[in-house]
Amino acid sequence: MDHIVSALPALESRHIDPHSYPAGVAFLDGQYLPISQARISVLDWGFLHSDATYDTVHVWNGRFFRLDLHIQRFFSGLERLRMSIPFTREQVAEILHNCVALSGHRAAYVEMLCTRGASPSFSRDPRDAINRFMAFAVPFGSVANAEQRERGLHVAISDRIRIPPASVDPAIKNYHWLDLVRGLYDAYDRNAETALLLDFNGNVAEGPGFNVFAVEQGTLVTPAVGVLAGITRRTVFELSSELGLDCKAVDVGVDTLKRADEVFITSTAGGIMPVTVVDGSPIADGKVGPITRRLEQLYWDRHEDPAWSTPVTYPG
């Protein structure tokens, strides 16, 4: 084997160079490792068949935001996929906490995931695979960058249909992203920055890593079916209720979105992010709306609230 490896030095070094990865810490097979050393088998069903579930929570100013809800959704996904891990919810919380504390990141993107795993005989039967839990913490990343958060994202409505719930249950957070990634490339081709995919009835569904809301005469609407029940989406329902705003999960047509007073997207990767252009045309006057800004402010303020956030204890 040695001569094969040495014949490909440039290719090999790219993957083992720790500087090819963001700074972070992973938990794998009972050990905490630098992210560059966290590796899984190419025979893992998670890699070969996207047979995996995961959840992402973030840490902001050294505090986890709504960690209990993310862990709850992760364990619900495990159960629905008939996977099991040798850790309780409390132990998973402790592992995530340790990944963040060891990484030193005060703003982190923290993922817990479980793959179907590999089997000793490369069996075709998923029941033979040994489920594999892992977790990691890397620097916080956002769907929208600072400029886009300031002036609003430019979004294209994709012709692609989001994978239907009858095929893959969107309540299970999953890596079936080929439709979303192809939607992104379509959007780039149309000079947009991200995409929204439709559901099987032609209504708006969701985008790569986010849910969407439209504001119409002070009422908020968000797609009801064919979408992940996002934790940020849920947070918007709760904050809207505190503000006395009506917020409903309904069918959202493309026209409703385009004629809305305000549009925004929601994700753990970025929070509440304004959209000001859809398919090349401005939403209302093309400026970020007041309800979006009010919710965004409230969302980040609540990251300090002990009812919704948990502090990380960093070493030293």
Q: Which residues bind ligand PLP (CB under 6 A)?
A: 56, 206, 209-211, 228, 230-233, 266-268
Instruction: Pick between residue 83 and residue 231 the one whose CB is nearest to ligand PLP.
Output: 231
Instruction: Report the nearest approach of ligand PLP to the CB of residue 118 (Å).
Output: 25
Instruction: Report the nearest approach of ligand PLP to the CB of residue 225 (Å).
Output: 13
Instruction: Pick between residue 102 and residue 235 the one whose CB is nearest to ligand PLP.
Output: 235
Q: How many CB atoms within 10 Å of residue 140?
A: 17
Detail the DSSP E strand segments found in 83-179.
108-118, 130-139, 153-161
| Cα–Cα distance, 51 to 44 (Å, whole number) | 9
CB 213 within 8 A of CB 266: yes
Instruction: Report the nearest approach of ligand PLP to the CB of residue 11 (Å).
Output: 31
Instruction: Pick between residue 98 and residue 211 the one whose CB is nearest to ligand PLP.
Output: 211
Q: Which residues touch 76 (CB under 8 Å, ≥6 apart)?
A: 171, 172
Angle between helices 67-80 and 231-242 (to 10 degrees): 140
| Cα–Cα distance, 2 to 28 (Å, whole number) | 27
Instruction: Report the nearest approach of ligand PLP to the CB of residue 94 (Å).
Output: 21
Instruction: Report the nearest approach of ligand PLP to the CB of residue 211 (Å).
Output: 5
Q: Which residue in the shown chain puts its C-beta closest to ligand PLP?
A: 230
Instruction: Pick between residue 43 and residue 107 the one whose CB is nearest to ligand PLP.
Output: 107
The tokens describing 50, both together, are 């996207």
Instruction: Pick between residue 98 and residue 266 the one whose CB is nearest to ligand PLP.
Output: 266
